[in-house]
Chain A
Amino acid sequence: MNAQPFTSESYSGDAGEAAWQDVLRGFGLQSQGARHGSPAHASALSRLSSSGVRLGKFSADAQSLRSLPPSAGLPLLLIPVEHSTVLVAGDDRQIVATGQLILAPRGADWQLQFQRGLRAVVLSVPAEAFRGRKVPPLAAAQPRVFGAEGLPDIVGRTALATAEALDRLSESEWEAVAQSAAELLLALSSELVAATSDPSSSRAALLQRLYATIERSIGSEDISIADIAQAEGISERYVQKLFEGTGESFSHYLRERRLQRAWHDLANPAEAAVPIAEIAYRCGFADAAHFSRLFRERFGLPPRELRRREVDRQTHSAVASGQRGWPQEALVQLRARQVASGPVRRPALREDGEVGTPVSEAPARHYLPVHAQHVHWGYFSRSLEPLIEIASGDIVTVETLTQHASDDPERMIEGDPGAESVFHWTSTDKTVNRRGAGPLDASVFGRGAGEGFGVHICTGPIAVHGAQPGDVLEVHILDIVPRRSRHPAHAGRVFGSSVAAWWGYHYSELLSEPHPRECVTIYEIVTDTDEPYARALHSYRWEPQTDPSGVQHMLYDYPGVLVRPGTVTLQEKVLNGVRIPLRPHFGVIAVAPREAELVDSVPPAYFGGNLDNWRLGKGARVYLPVSVPGALLSVGDPHAAQGDGELSGTAIECSMTGTFCVTLHKKANIGGTVLADLTYPLIETPEDWVLTGFSHPNYLAEFGASSQSEVYAKSSLDLAMRDAFRKMRRFLMSTKALSEDEAVALMSAAVDFGITQVVDGNWGVHAILSKRLFAQHEPGERGLGS
């Protein structure tokens, strides 16, 4: 799971208090409530590991915390920061200074009074975090305070440092840190027992040392009681006696630990390529068949089956963490196995009369209808055969489909030959098989060919005659026309869909139940009026959908899965009376990137792609740096309306047809123009220049082989703002011939920075420069040589 932010600010009135108690409950804690009647403020950032380890940082008004009824696990670790706290246990009251550690047994009778405000880091480690390893019985123990020295210091620093970095750790980093923190807390808890003079406690401490010795020697096949006894300097008989006291024999415990260790290794995605026999051997089982039998008896499933299930689980947790695209582990394995995805070759089709290479000198007009052979779905590729080649200055009309037409097939697909052709999918036939840049055999998550690593239906590519790397391609949007429904019941009307999806910005902190959830809203686009608008028709919660190939999609994790009527419950009267003014535009306008064979269509970058900027509408132009011969232009992801931010993960996705004038600016001719030195998508509207900043301007080059995973993990508006600032400074200095000081002054006084999107992996901040500023400005700028 990702770090979970919480703040009472999200809630109205008492709901905030209840939600805060929920957060505390996750840690086995309960609040006695604020001491004063003033509005209670609380915020927290917490994170849960797959083994149940939970770390949180709290910041809240004055209140007392106590333990909920007992649950198995290590004592809670609490570290007050900024304010001291008072620990009350029985009749004892002790002031705990900031930075000291409190080890508080679960379910025991103690209370922490944060009188000047609650600011603390809390670590909760349940018994299951150790997968069967024994945890000392501590419930009856008293809470204890440690100063920051020796082991407590290390434990404290680890917890504090982790709390600071909680939302910046990747999933695998967090898992490793959480497990280490659990081990450290176990070591400290054992000290808690050892320190008391109670004989039963010293026995428990000795037992803990025996357990630790066993852990260290689990790999040797013939570990015996004698070895263990010798290591601790006690008699074999005493070892046996100690174990008898726990109700479990030595040999039984040893086997249990070996099986648990094997279970752990088998479930580890990083070890997915290690043979099962090798894992068995590591855990002290020389005979693989014997191991398999024992494993099945213990866990009720064979080792191989566990592995398969774990892959499934990882799939879902990757999704639950809100990260799209390739998982890091899969990319690592891909490299290790040296499996090339292979170039994408598609026969160039020239079956339409209107499609073909122009021969005349005058600008030609082309028409590119949409059907299965004219689209590539979810990826860009430098290796795709172009559908047509056009000349600079030609006008091309391109039909595009929204990948969300499948959210309401009746309204957006049925009766429309183009859409039917693209979405056609039966148990034996799927016209557009690859959807995304993932493996064709779906060997990562099993979602389907391409794994949905990239979702947009792109029409193209279109080659531009003579385009070479270093040139700039201008795409001028002359017109955008929505695609009307062809279904008899809805003929002539226009529909769109907007999904509040698992990759949305809101997904990690939904307020109302059930959560998480995905919600699809179907909109009608009303165009036959002076001020066209969209209005919501109905919405539904996403329910698991089984695709024709038999794969079940618990989440919206693969594009083009037809939502069948009857599988979802429609909610009527949503957004009743709300009219959304249209902003028709294309989310995706791209030339092929040079760095990789197959590139996920979701993160935008220097080559354009999923820009998701509504300013790319009728009358606007986008300039894209060409990086492969022919440029290979593709268009898709049409939107009827979108807000700056695209918060839920999608806009109003609506099939549309665009007419574009495509102009090639040769490298040799752009010196001194606004296109000189262009290394990113530049948008021009009649009024403004819009520069596109990204968290990672060229993520493919920046992250190399792991780019298609990393770009999702490391997104930030702060980075995107930095990029937008640098681009605008360069633009003003190089195209307007301003000094750096002039450029900075102008940016502060007159350039508007806005948030483009926070959902496409590579987050965007754009900078808008009004052309009005330069109405009387002479130096620098030359017209485009077109």
Chain B
Amino acid sequence: MTKHHLPATPDTVHWGYFSKTLAPVLTLKSGDRAMIESITHHANDDYARMIEGDRAAEEIFLWTKDQKTLRRRGAGTTDGPFTYGAGEGLGVHLLTGPVAVEGAEPGDIIEVRVIDTWPRPSANPAYAGRFFGSNPAANWGFQYKDLIEGPAPREVVTIYELDMGDASVKALYSYLWTPQTDPDGITHPTIDYPGVRVDHTTIVKKEGILPGIKVPARLHFGTMGLAPAEADFVSTIPPNYTGGNMDDWRIAKGARMYYPVAVPGGLFSCGDAHASQGDSELSGTAIEISLTGEFEFILHKKEELDGTMLEGLTHPLLENDDVWSVYGFSVANYLSELGPDHQSEILKRGSLDSAMRDAFRKLRRFLMTTQKLSEDEAISLMSVAADFAVTQVVDANWGVTGSIRKSLFPAR
């Protein structure tokens, strides 16, 4: 087993999209491990705490009138004039990768084990060694059109500090988003393009918020997944059959994720790390932090899947010490089901009702295939022992997780 290290640098990250056209920044063998750094795309919500002094972060986020290190942010057009910017913010997550697994072919499954995770400390001498995150209540949040206090609508950014000592997160301050003008002169009245530095002279900080409240830490990567086959550039926002923006806090240390391979090498990327998140990710974001993960990659070849838990798997699957979870989406494979306008069509399709339907079908198939249950047995067991939860209602392709405890099957 080889242990690789993949730092986050301008050359190892891609912003806002998955793409089968990207050359791998690391190629490893099945069984290898890799330490992968990720930097949150919300770091510019508080430049001083989350970027300043951090060479890699400074370079990645560099954007002046003359220079923009990572020009494309999103799967949208890169030919101006732009509404929001190059890539049009159609996809927002700053991902590290892609990592290719030698020999991976469409039809195979790549297993990714999350061995451990470490938050990335602030490199600013004023805050050295501390960990910060940002949680914007954004325009794509579930609350945005349903606000009861003024001014409505509004976006509010809350900056948090993570305390690794007692594994909890506390709010530091919040501010109302104000129109921000980027170095290219485009004004962003709402959070519509990632990585725009918030000019702290334009905002009013509100201190003393969420007093005394400690949110238990749930360190995890919101986005982990492989490149899909259907299009060259695919937004990172809607999760899909090859994973991506799953936003499930259970994909944490100790978890094993299984992804169907759609392109040669698989092309794994990760990012969008969270210090904590509730089931539903209601406001549109979690507590977004920069995180480094150690992962182990295992390739399961197509011809070896029959009779295993991975037989017939066409969607992401989670396994940890306690459960198996299948991920239901509003549209199971939106890239192939929604036609040429899939990137905009999916925005209209978010529904828990269809996601629940999908989760039910996937769990039924999982139980019938891997536990050799009859349909009647699978349905009875799902009713009395499977738990369906809301994963997220903010990533266009909404999610419902269906989980079944492994302890149900002691004699198997």
Contacts and interface: CB of A to CB of B under 8 A. Distances in A.
A185 interface: no
B375 A510 contact: yes
B227 interface: no
A749 B360 contact: no
Interface string B383-412: 111111110010000001010010111111
Interface string B337-378: 101110000000001110011101110110011000111110
Interface in A277-332: none
B388 A754 contact: yes
A770 B216 contact: yes
B384 A13 contact: no
Given A41-B333, A740-B147, A642 B384 contact: yes
Interface stretch (A345-353, A428-436, A776-784): A776-784
B353 A645 contact: no
A578 B278 contact: no
Interface stretch (A498-506, A587-595, A597-605, A666-674): A498-506
Interface string A759-786: 0000001000010111111110000000
A750 B278 contact: yes
Q: Is the interface of A mostly helix, strand, loop or mixed?
A: mixed
Interface string B313-349: 0100000000000000000110011011100000000
A: contact size bracket: 35 or more
A12 B409 contact: no
A191 interface: no
Interface in A512-544: 512, 519, 521, 523, 534, 536, 539
Nearest to A578: B408
Contact of A539 (B148, B174, B285, B380): B380
A753 B285 contact: no
A753 B380 contact: no
A725 B282 contact: yes
Given A61-B336, A740-B149, A748-B278, A643 B383 contact: yes
Nearest to A754: B389
A555 interface: no
B235 interface: no
A748 B277 contact: yes
A168 to B, nearest CB: 10
Interface in A575-596: 575-581
B156 interface: yes
A490 interface: no
Interface in A637-659: 641-652
A334 interface: no
A20 B289 CA distance: 45
A556 to B, nearest CB: 14
Given A718-B352, A741-B137, A752 B280 contact: yes
Contacts of A469: none
A643 B388 contact: yes
B364 A10 contact: yes
A9 interface: yes
Contact of A777 (B143, B213, B368, B407): B213
A722 interface: yes
Given A643-B385, A745-B158, A750 B216 contact: yes
Nearest to A12: B312
Contacts of A770: 216
A574 interface: yes
Interface residues of B, number: 85
B383 A721 contact: no
A650 B156 CA distance: 43
Contact of A512 (B360, B365, B375, B382): B375
B156 A721 contact: no
A119 interface: yes
A644 B216 contact: no
A10 B365 contact: yes
B230 to A, nearest CB: 11
Contact of A647 (B148, B360, B368, B409): B360
Interface in A258-286: none
A509 B360 CA distance: 11
A721 B158 contact: no
Contact of A749 (B135, B373, B408): B135
Interface in A1-48: 5, 7, 9-13, 39, 41, 43
B216 A645 contact: no
Given A9-B361, A117-B339, A578 B390 contact: no
A144 interface: no
B384 A749 contact: no
A763 to B, nearest CB: 9
A645 B387 contact: yes
A354 interface: no
A754 B402 CA distance: 10
A71 interface: no
Interface in A726-762: 726, 729, 738-742, 744-755, 758
A621 B33 CA distance: 48
B235 to A, nearest CB: 19
Contacts of A83: 339-340
B283 A754 contact: no
A397 interface: no
A519 B374 CA distance: 12
Given A745-B137, A749-B169, A750-B215, A498 B380 contact: yes
11 contacts: A7-B332, A13-B312, A498-B383, A505-B356, A539-B376, A647-B388, A649-B383, A717-B353, A729-B143, A745-B209, A750-B276
Given A576-B411, A578-B381, A745-B135, 14 more contacts: A82-B339, A521-B376, A579-B407, A579-B410, A581-B405, A717-B356, A725-B142, A747-B280, A748-B137, A750-B276, A753-B279, A753-B282, A755-B356, A755-B390
Which 5 residue pairs spanning A and B have beta carbons closest together? A577-B411, A648-B383, A748-B283, A717-B352, A777-B212
